[in-house]
Amino acid sequence: MSTTTQTLDKDAITWGQKQYHIALCPEDIGEYVLLPGDPARSDIAAKYLENAELKANNREHRTFTGYYKGVKISVTSTGMGCPSAAIAAEELIRIGAKNLIRIGSSAALDPRVNIGDLMISVGAMKNEGTSRFYVPDSFPAVPDLELTQTLIETAKELCEGTDFNVFTGITSSDDAFYGETPEFLDKLRSYKVMNLDMESSALYTIAHLRGVKAATINGTSGNLTNAEVIYTKKNERLYDAWEKEIQVVLETIYRMEQKKNK
């Protein structure tokens, strides 16, 4: 007696359905989604949205949806690291997300960057394992050009005359926070890497393959080159940077919509 097996195709059965990890349906989100790591930062972003509603709170993924200047916008936390961020990105795309913007915190390597400054990534090193499931190591991880350029222009305009500086450069997305030894950091610094995060490279890779836009802006939590870090008390300047980057991203989204509707 012969038996047959049928291997499950996750991709084929998950589009347009309620998603397993983020617990969201297509009607729950807008085409623009902000992606903080920490679920608590979803609440911070929701303060800036009109009629914000909590749509789901499952695992590390906390989602609100509301409006900014008439544009429907969602915010979904991803948790830490590329595996969790990749799941959030994939599931959001499966229910209609078209623009994914990471609003994070990040340590700088560029000695010019101070705590609280904003850093916008123009590309990411894939020092992580998630992207290897999708593309070879030689394949670049880059954000969407139009979205990123609008983000840069908006950030510079909104930060002009303030104590927030705006920097652009290459990000290293790393898997192991405590694996970043001095020797490892010296190597990245020799490559003129601007900063470190744990999500952007996978986000860019998935967005490219799925045909949507992605970008990243980070508030600076510390500078590892200058040994300027705050680990044991509240980082007030970082909290200010989170607020500022949310304002920048929301205005960026509005401007993207204005361009689209011209």
**158-212: per-residue pLDDT in tens?**
999 999 999 999 999 999 999 999 999 999 999 999 999 999 999 999 999 999 9
Q: Element (H or E) spanning 242, and its range? A: helix 236-260
Q: What is the rounded average pLDDT for all residues in the chain?
A: 96
Q: Look at residue 208 in the predicted model and tell me its pLDDT.
A: 98
Could you tell me if 63 and 75 are in contact, meaning their C-beta atoms sit under 8 angstroms apart? yes
pLDDT at 224 exceeding the cut of 60 = yes
Q: Which of 2-16, 29-43, 78-92, 221-235 comes out lowest in average pLDDT? A: 2-16
Q: Look at residue 250 in the predicted model and tell me its pLDDT.
A: 98
Q: Look at residue 174 in the predicted model and tell me its pLDDT.
A: 97
pLDDT at 246 exceeding the cut of 70 = yes
Q: Look at residue 227 in the predicted model and tell me its pLDDT.
A: 87
Q: How many CB atoms lie within 10 A of CB 64?
A: 24
Q: pTM for the complete prediction? A: 0.95
pLDDT band at 89 (very low <50, low <70, confident <90, very high): very high
pLDDT at 3 exceeding the cut of 70 = no
Helices (H) and strands (E) in the chain, counts: 7, 9
Q: Which of 127-136, 211-220, 253-262 comes out lowest in average pLDDT? A: 253-262
Residue 203: which residues within 8 A CB-CB, separation 6 or more?
A: 35, 85, 86, 89, 100, 102, 214, 216
Q: Which two tokens stand for residue 47?
A: 């303060």
pLDDT at 2 exceeding the cut of 80 = no
Q: Which two tokens stand for residue 225?
A: 């080159």
Q: Look at residue 77 in the predicted model and tell me its pLDDT.
A: 98
Could you tell me if 125 and 169 are in contact, meaning their C-beta atoms sit under 8 angstroms apart? no
**Is domain 24-260 classified as CATH 3.40.50.300?**
no
Q: Look at residue 141 in the predicted model and tell me its pLDDT.
A: 98
As to burial, measured by CB atoms within 10 angstroms (0-12 exposed, 13-18 middle, 19+ buried), residue 89 is buried
